[in-house]
Structure 1
């Protein structure tokens, strides 16, 4: 009975030690998070560009997004098969995939806060300049940019 309990506790301890590890050939969580985050950015960029999106067919948008995906995989030094193998692993382990998506959400939230604070600082600086408003067609970044000097 003691041997059985000892073996059980030892196997339980060993199993708990392997919780965060991924098999060989599968991307670690942080690398997978970075790739998926870049792919989500590409998806948003490909679908929401400044041009009139009503005129672009969905197939053209999909082609653009696929092109971005290829560039992202090249940027991270991955092949399509490596990424798909890793993604399938994380699909079969939804708890790990959920952790990755929560980390992605936190990163996006932090970046959004930084961008919002920078935009607020820029707005405050622009409001402090009398007679100059944001997006004013008469606003010149340098006051002397229109000075004409004659020889």
Structure 2
């Protein structure tokens, strides 16, 4: 009975201390968040330039490919990483926490710049 208790204890410890690393070939959370933030900004731009939906899709795809190139990654790595994060919700939450913080900070900077420009105009 004692051996069984030790075995269960060891299994619990091993299962709790398993590496929580991201597999090779998957974008790290910070890089994934950066790419997603840029894609969301591009999506916003594409929908606000007054083009029809089909044309917006073409423009957005162009933006996406540029963003991936600027971040030294490929479409397939991005898609594989996105799928990985979808399958690991706790890691996806971390990515989106970074995205939200990043977007909020950018919005605050833009608001501050607008306010500064308005004050100069007065």
Deviation at 1:6, TM superposition (A): 4.0
**Higher RCO, Cα 8 Å, sep 6+:** 2
Match of 2:17 in 1: 14
Gaps (5+ residues) in structure 2?
none
Aligned-pair Cα RMSD in Å: 1.6
The structure richer in helix per residue is: 2
Match of 2:24 in 1: 24
The whole-number CA distance in structure 2 between the counterparts of 1:7 and 1:120 is: 60
Of residues 56, 59, 63, the one that matches 1:64 is: 59
User: What TM-score comes out, normalization by structure 1 length?
Assistant: 0.71
Match of 2:79 in 1: 84
User: What TM-score comes out, normalization by structure 2 length?
Assistant: 0.86
The whole-number CA distance in structure 2 between the counterparts of 1:62 and 1:43 is: 9
Gaps (5+ residues) in structure 1?
128-151
The residue matched to 1:39 in structure 2 has which SS?
helix
Structure having the higher Rg:
1
The whole-number CA distance in structure 2 between the counterparts of 1:125 and 1:71 is: 35
- Are residues 1:98 and 2:93 paired? yes
